[in-house]
Structure 1
Amino acid sequence: MEQEVFIHFKKILDQFNLPNWFHPNTCLLSIWNSLCEIIFMSKNCISFYDYTAEEFLQKPGFEFFPPDDFDSHINRLISIFNNTGEEFCFKKKILSKKGVYVYTESFAKSFYSEYFDEVLLFIISRKI
């Protein structure tokens, strides 16, 4: 099952017009469902936010938004989900497990997944 899901996401990712700074070893990849739950987080998230991938999974992503940026994060997610297929680039900050803000540049795109039968969101981030 895991291999099948990986192949599904790899095919979708190959269709994206990824930013020139994208490199799988230095960027963070997350996939969110329409309930804003994180359903995939790359293992290198610990080097970004001090959380393990397992700590992110199946939790609402908004739990990790800083209070002063909460509304802008939510509005951005709604916009991305409502504009399936469009590519978005933005900067954001997330509060790390150690209580320090981590600033990232992110690329995001929502898409319909036949495998999951719902719109999902890919977010690729790098530290800035």
Structure 2
Amino acid sequence: MVDSGDHRHFDMLLRDIYGGAYDAPGLSGDVIASSFGLAARHPEQPRGLADMVKSLSVTARPWLADDYDIWIDRISVSESPYRCVLIFCNNSGADIILGVLPFAMEFLRHGSKVIMDSEILFYDLS
């Protein structure tokens, strides 16, 4: 799939999502996009899964310690590597509903046991 993809198609999509230019430091959209490997925009060309895989595959990484592949393999498994997860959270309603519960549900979906612990005091009663 990597051989059949073209990274420039997906890089154009990244440029579209993130706005394409950073005006404050004076960087144009082409400069930002070229950091992802894009030199020109071709909106008529379709973007596919092979293009995304090609864009995300990095062949040579120059740093000494490289655990990227191990990390990707670990988070992409269908079952969770964790048997039990303990989550400490604030008692704020929005934090729990929008952040902690979806986070806990993802662990539950992968078969982990989840323990949620919250503060006893209610600071939001003013």
- Bin the TM-score by the shorter chain: under 0.3
Greater Cα radius of gyration, structure 1 or 2: 2
Higher helix share: 2
The TM-score with structure 1 as length reference comes to 0.23
Higher strand share: 1
The TM-score with structure 2 as length reference comes to 0.24
